[in-house]
Amino acid sequence: MAADTSGLEISARDLRLEQAFYGTIIHSVSPKEVQILEKGLLLIGPDGKISLFREHVEKSQVAGLLAHYSSGAGSLRVRYLERGQFLIPGFVDTHNHAPQWTQRGTGRGKLLLDWLNEITFPHEAKFADASYARKTYSSCVDGFLKQGITTASYYGSLHGEATKILAELCLEKGQRALVGKCNMNQNSPEYCSDSSAADSLAATEDFIAHVRRLDPEAKTVTPILTPRFAISCDRELLSGLGKIAQANPDLPIQTHFNEAEDEIALTKTLYHEFSNEADLYAHYNLLTSRTILAHCIYLEEYELDQIQQRGCGVAHCPISNTTIGGFMAAPIREYLRRGLNVGLGTDSGGGFSSSILDAMRQAFIVSKAREVATEGADEALSLNETFYLATLGGAKVCGLSDKVGNFAEGKEFDALEVHTMGADAGVIAPVEEEDGLDVILEKFLMTGDDRNIQKVYVRGRSVKV
């Protein structure tokens, strides 16, 4: 933690404070450790960064401290959190198909490749229409922000223009996002395919340039290379994407990796020169420390070593992994044991839910299944661990943990103000008089929903519609 807790007598800094929060502040400091600070104080500068974080401040000291650190220009808004209210870091959704926002929940139980062909491709084809894209993506970004997803790593459709609209909407509505034009020039119907590798690459370069003009310093929106998966891309396309990746060392990459048995079998048939997916993506320079690998269910030991050595991130999507195709429990305990970066993905719409809270619950359930299957060798995830995956773990996967994921001083203020009590508390388990802060947090994480997320902040700006 960067917060100074040595005492209150530290010298004044030249801070022009804009917002302050006093009360219960909760965040992860490691995979296993969640700090629950009853008397925390956070100060947020006009740049949206956390300028001061104190772990323990008596209420009587707050006004004095703020007078000391604020510019005194009267622009300071102070929020005193009451019982049942607390701040947590915003949720990070490491794997999300924006075009599938409206198809969530349909086609459950189908095998992955059937689901793509029967449900998904016909739906994604609609994003050739820019006005449809604007309407749908607007609803999508609002819908995820409302649920506390302050950072999303989005797959767009194959359409460059529609995906530009998605990036513009993220910027306008204030959602931190990695946005990718989806590359797919084979094995999907012609109406839902890039017309050639060259066209797909050109649209990608055009998209990247567009997003960089929109947000030159990538303060909010970052382009991300998005080969759907090897099945969807021919060798020329993968090769071209690898070259873009090499030429742009700041550019993140995302793809699906060892997701389903039918997918793995077809990949091996199409790319017979590789004996596994790790070698395939590595060959095309797409398996890097900037790569987000969605799913990672069936990894050979060799592949596990490869993604560990290369520092790839894992987007764990427990809801889609148990509703599309079979019931698949990714070996998350092993990934954490090896120190890999792991986060959660809603995988909306393969995942029916658009809530990271649901993803956290399902991650626990899936890890229970794995605990039973391994006779206890892979212990189930703790509440602290699933909270970590949803916040700091996800930020690491997205390469953004220097900016977000918890409330360390100097990070940007991406946060949720949670209210667990009151008339509009939804269906959360009622908080009782004797409940400690740990129990209140547990009740929110296990029984709360977006109605308990009263405010959503990205870079210090309130963004919940």
Is residue 189 a contact point for its own copies (CB under 8 A)? no
Which of 243, 439, 462, 465 touches its own copies by CB under 8 A? 439
Q: Which range binds its own copies by CB under 8 A, 17-25, 222-230, 276-284, 435-443? A: 435-443
Is residue 102 a contact point for its own copies (CB under 8 A)? yes
CB of residue 15 to its own copies, shortest distance in Å = 38
Is residue 368 a contact point for its own copies (CB under 8 A)? yes
Q: Which range binds its own copies by CB under 8 A, 80-88, 173-181, 283-291, 368-376? A: 368-376
364-399 CB burial, b ≥16 within 10 A, e <16: bebbebbbeeeeeebebbeebbbbbbbbbbbbbbbb
Which of 32, 56, 77, 108 touches its own copies by CB under 8 A? 108
Tell which residue, 148, 248, 179, 170, has the closest CA to residue 398: 179
CB of residue 122 to its own copies, shortest distance in Å = 10
CB 120 within 8 A of CB 111: no
Is residue 130 a contact point for its own copies (CB under 8 A)? no
Which of 355, 391, 420, 452 touches its own copies by CB under 8 A? 355
Cis peptide before 349 (omega within 30 of 0): yes
Q: What is the distance between the alpha carbons of residues 418 and 447, in angstroms, rounded to a whole number?
A: 13
| Binding track, positions 396-425, relative to its own copies; x by CB under 8 A | ------------------------------
Edge to edge, the sheet with strand 253-257 lists 253-257, 291-295, 313-316, 341-344
| Binding track, positions 325-354, relative to its own copies; x by CB under 8 A | -xx---------------------x--xxx
Is residue 83 classed exposed, middle or buried when 0-12, 13-18 and 19+ CB atoms within 10 A define those classes?
middle
Q: What is the distance between the alpha carbons of residues 157 and 172, in angstroms, rounded to a whole number?
A: 20
Is residue 138 a contact point for its own copies (CB under 8 A)? no
CB 197 within 8 A of CB 236: yes
Token match 């070259």: residue?
A: 243
Which of 19, 226, 322, 391 touches its own copies by CB under 8 A? 322
CB of residue 10 to its own copies, shortest distance in Å = 39
Is residue 449 a contact point for its own copies (CB under 8 A)? yes
Q: Which range binds its own copies by CB under 8 A, 72-80, 195-203, 239-247, 376-384? A: 376-384
Which of 103, 120, 185, 187 touches its own copies by CB under 8 A? 103
Residue 363 φ/ψ, nearest 5 degrees: -60, -40
Which of 15, 442, 454, 461 touches its own copies by CB under 8 A? 442
Is residue 371 a contact point for its own copies (CB under 8 A)? yes
Q: What is the distance between the alpha carbons of residues 425 and 429, in angstroms, rounded to a whole number?
A: 9
Query: Which ranges of 250-352 does DSSP label H, i.e. alpha helix?
Result: 261-270, 277-283, 301-310, 332-337
Q: What is the distance between the alpha carbons of residues 35 and 434, in angstroms, rounded to a whole number?
A: 20
Is residue 429 a contact point for its own copies (CB under 8 A)? yes
Q: What is the distance between the alpha carbons of residues 165 and 167, in angstroms, rounded to a whole number?
A: 5
Radius of gyration over alpha carbons of the chain, in Å?
22
Which of 97, 104, 176, 181 touches its own copies by CB under 8 A? 104
CB of residue 381 to its own copies, shortest distance in Å = 9
Q: What is the distance between the alpha carbons of residues 156 and 179, in angstroms, rounded to a whole number?
A: 7
CB of residue 325 to its own copies, shortest distance in Å = 9
CB of residue 73 to its own copies, shortest distance in Å = 39
Which of 305, 338, 430, 462 touches its own copies by CB under 8 A? 430
Which of 141, 221, 445, 458 touches its own copies by CB under 8 A? 445
CB 221 within 8 A of CB 167: yes
Other Cβ atoms less than 10 A from the Cβ of 104: the count is 18
Tell which residue, 269, 244, 248, 266, has the closest CA to residue 256: 266
CB of residue 424 to its own copies, shortest distance in Å = 11
The nearer residue to its own copies, 323 or 391, going by C-beta atoms, is 323
Which of 72, 109, 339, 422 touches its own copies by CB under 8 A? 109
Is residue 166 a contact point for its own copies (CB under 8 A)? no
DSSP secondary structure letters along 91-139:
EEEEEEEGGGGGTTTSSTTS-HHHHIIIIIHHHHGGGGSHHHHHHHHHH
How many residues in the shown chain lie near its own copies by CB under 8 A?
A: 46
Give me the residues that bind its own copies (CB under 8 A), please. 101-106, 108-109, 136, 139, 143, 146-147, 322-323, 326-327, 349, 352-355, 361-362, 364-365, 368-369, 371-372, 380, 382-383, 426-427, 429-430, 432, 439, 442-443, 445-447, 449-450
